[in-house]
Amino acid sequence: MRLFLLAASWVHLASSVLLTGAFFMLLLAGNPSERPTARRWERTIAVYSRRVLLVALGSGIACLLARTAVFEGRLEAALEPRAVWRALLDTRPGLIWLARHGLLVVLGAFLLLPADVRETRNWIAARVEPLVLGMLALALVSGSSHAAGVAPRTVLAVAVDVAHLLGSGIWIGGLVPLALLLRAASREAGADSRLYAERAVLRFSGAALATMIVLITSGSMNAFVQVGSVAGLAGTAYGHLLLAKLSVLVPVLVLAAVNRVRLLPALSRPTTTVGCPAMRSLAAFVGLEAILALVLLALVAAMTLTTPARHEQPVWPLPFRFSLDAALEGPATRWRALLGSQLVLLGTVAAIASLFVRRRRAPVLAGALVLIAVGAGGGLAPFVVDAYPTTYRRPPVTYHAASIAPGMLVYHEHCATCHGATGAGDGPSMQGRRPPADLRSPPVSRRHAGEIFWLVTHGIPERGMPGFENRLGDAERWDVINFIRALGAAGDAGRLGRVVEPERPWLVAPDFAVSVGPLAPGALRDYRGRRIVLLVFYTLPGSRPRMTQLARSYDLLWIMGVEVIAVPTDASSEAIRELGSSPPALFPVVTDGALDIVRAYRMFAPGPHAELLIDRQGYIRAIWKGDTEAMPEATVLLGQVEQLNEERNVAPFPDDHIH
């Protein structure tokens, strides 16, 4: 059924595009007046457009039936009136289908009207009206395309898609009528309309150039929105279809360029032969361009039925990738990269210069290519790092205390014996052996989460690391990776002081559930964009004086935009009762799931009492740890909060997943 839907979608899209282009070409070519060949061509295109319209309506109905079957998940639903009715009236694509086909029916009725177009205004009206109706029907396709599912900025995405569709309609759809006109005029009998055809092709050439700019701009914007990354392009079905589309587009553009640069000027040259060979060649080339463009539309139809790359997990196809971080690691690699890039730059300049020199062009070009090859070979090498199929896989588990804490347990059970309790590579079983990499060091922390997932899953046989595919489930492996990331972050947290460093958020606070009593839990991320959070880990009775102080200052802190979240280190479910009521502590006290939060955050701030100031974007900005004596006075704390409130450069919210 999907194959049938694909075929129907292709035929429908192609016929809608051809229809728009045919009316555009008729209008662009102008009134043929008393030129018999051009008049005949106009009549041919009128008949052609009626047939294409019938195909569009027929394939549209086929699309609707196929979509109904897919929507209902039953093949026989395609022939059940009630199911078709439901797909038509209860879904957005169905309503758009109705509007589009309503317009096509009006267009069909208009085309069937007997029209006297001898008067200019009647001729213009008879050409503009079907063009407007055809363009409206084509533009409405965007209403049920992938662009309509983009959020936010849906209107912009749909507008860009409409521009792309109309551009395709004008360019691709105009090619067939143009080829027919050129072929008719190139014959001996068509000599009366050669000037007309020449004028039409010149006008089309200008319009196609403008359209191409619109198509490239809107296509790039669409690709950015729907694909979003190189991994999405290289590692998903949608990306592969886009690459295939580009690979068909290149020869189409080459053909268009040959037509414009070589064949178009040849049209105006005097010819001694019967007919016009240049015009015949141009007709053949334009026809070829049209066939390739129809292949392009088949790929577009397939893309509309494929999940956009942004919503797919990419499978990286290459054993390597380029990493800027890797290249900038040491001074030697930095120099190598710099030298290589300069050689490539020099080679590019030489290659461009070779286009302008007349003498010794070949040696200059060869030298330029050698420079580029040497520069790229030498300069790119430091950027190359190993990659795996899962390199760009997005973790399904968020960077959350409820993942880090179990990850810690799994790590201590399966990994610590080699990697050591702190990830330093000093585990007991590595005595006298080559130690594994320090998991907190930049080479590991810069690796994509998907790469670590691959290494944990399949191991590193040459270094003696076993794979854990059969011993740990997917979720457990991602938990370990979240823990490893937290290990690296906790190492970096040492750089964070007791005072907020202005405008420099960099340490992401792992998310956690805020469960107060039996009520529905919230989360740390719920405070993003709303409140600064003072996260307090306390141990009674030692922390009581500090908790009393915080309870008394809570009103003032709240007014300053701070929420205090208290987490008992003993994870007591009676935490609220134990805090007592004189003075009452009215801030959220976590009574459920505190153990995971304590385990995850102890890596950042150990000790019986610790406080972390988390800004509105979700970054840890200051840490106070030790005993309650080391905690900031109310005035100092309020000063730090004021500092955060005054920050103007708001950092983006951190990603919920590690990368």
Partner 1 sequence: MPVWQVVLLVNLTLAVGLGLGYADWGRRADRLYQELEATRARVEQLERERAACTTGARAGEQQWEARGIVRAIFPRADLLVITHEEIRGFLPPRTTSFRASPKLRHAVRVGDAIRFSLRGAFRDATIVAIERW
For partner 1, the binding residues (CB under 8 A) are 106, 110, 113, 115-117, 119, 121-126, 128-129, 516-520, 522, 574-578, 580-581, 584-586, 588
Measured from the CB atom, is 129 or 329 closer to partner 1? 129
Measured from the CB atom, is 586 or 636 closer to partner 1? 586
Smallest gap from Cβ 585 to partner 1, in A, equals 8
Smallest gap from Cβ 147 to partner 1, in A, equals 22
- The H-or-E segment that residue 549 falls in is helix 544-559
Measured from the CB atom, is 113 or 362 closer to partner 1? 113
Q: For residues 535 and 527, give the distance between their C-alpha atoms in angstroms, rounded to a whole number.
A: 12
Q: For residues 251 and 174, give the distance between their C-alpha atoms in angstroms, rounded to a whole number.
A: 18
Would you call 475 exposed, middle or buried from its count of C-beta atoms within 10 A (0-12, 13-18, 19+)?
Answer: middle
Measured from the CB atom, is 287 or 521 closer to partner 1? 521
Measured from the CB atom, is 238 or 527 closer to partner 1? 527
Smallest gap from Cβ 494 to partner 1, in A, equals 35
Measured from the CB atom, is 151 or 520 closer to partner 1? 520
- Ramachandran angles phi, psi of 355, nearest 5°: -70, -25
Give the dihedral of Cα atoms 463, 469, 473, 476; nearest 10 deg. 10
Measured from the CB atom, is 133 or 221 closer to partner 1? 133
Report the relative pairing of strands 619-626 and 609-614 from DSSP bridges.
antiparallel
Measured from the CB atom, is 421 or 586 closer to partner 1? 586
Smallest gap from Cβ 567 to partner 1, in A, equals 16
Measured from the CB atom, is 325 or 574 closer to partner 1? 574
Smallest gap from Cβ 439 to partner 1, in A, equals 40
Look at residue 27 and give its three-state secondary structure: helix
User: DSSP alpha helices (H): ranges in 227-236?
Assistant: 230-235
Smallest gap from Cβ 587 to partner 1, in A, equals 8
Measured from the CB atom, is 47 or 124 closer to partner 1? 124
Would you call 497 exposed, middle or buried from its count of C-beta atoms within 10 A (0-12, 13-18, 19+)?
Answer: exposed
Cβ-proximal residues to 75 (8 Å cutoff; 6+ apart), any chain: 1, 69
Q: For residues 651 and 251, give the distance between their C-alpha atoms in angstroms, rounded to a whole number.
A: 44
Measured from the CB atom, is 109 or 332 closer to partner 1? 109
Residue 301 Cα distances to 250, 325, 588, 622, angstroms: 19, 39, 53, 53
Smallest gap from Cβ 528 to partner 1, in A, equals 17
Q: What share of the chain is helix, strand, coil (3-state, %, to 5)?
A: 65, 5, 30
CA 315 to chain centre: 15
Measured from the CB atom, is 396 or 517 closer to partner 1? 517
Cβ-contact 620, 604 below 8 angstroms: yes
Smallest gap from Cβ 106 to partner 1, in A, equals 7
Cβ-contact 598, 566 below 8 angstroms: no
Q: For residues 284 and 182, give the distance between their C-alpha atoms in angstroms, rounded to a whole number.
A: 9
Beta bridge partners of 537: 567, 610
Smallest gap from Cβ 586 to partner 1, in A, equals 5
- Ramachandran angles phi, psi of 573, nearest 5°: -80, -10
Smallest gap from Cβ 614 to partner 1, in A, equals 20
Give the dihedral of Cα atoms 381, 383, 386, 388; nearest 10 deg. -130
Measured from the CB atom, is 251 or 517 closer to partner 1? 517
Smallest gap from Cβ 226 to partner 1, in A, equals 30
Smallest gap from Cβ 217 to partner 1, in A, equals 30
Question: Which amino acid is residue 94, in one-letter code?
Answer: G
Cβ-proximal residues to 476 (8 Å cutoff; 6+ apart), any chain: 406, 407, 410
Cα angle vertex 53, ends 51, 59, to 5°?
A: 105
Q: For residues 480 and 486, give the distance between their C-alpha atoms in angstroms, rounded to a whole number.
A: 10
CA 442 to chain centre: 27
Structure tokens, 163: 């521009």
Smallest gap from Cβ 523 to partner 1, in A, equals 13
Q: For residues 296 and 286, give the distance between their C-alpha atoms in angstroms, rounded to a whole number.
A: 15
Q: What is the CB-side half-sphere exposure of residue 478 using CA atoms within 13 A? A: 19
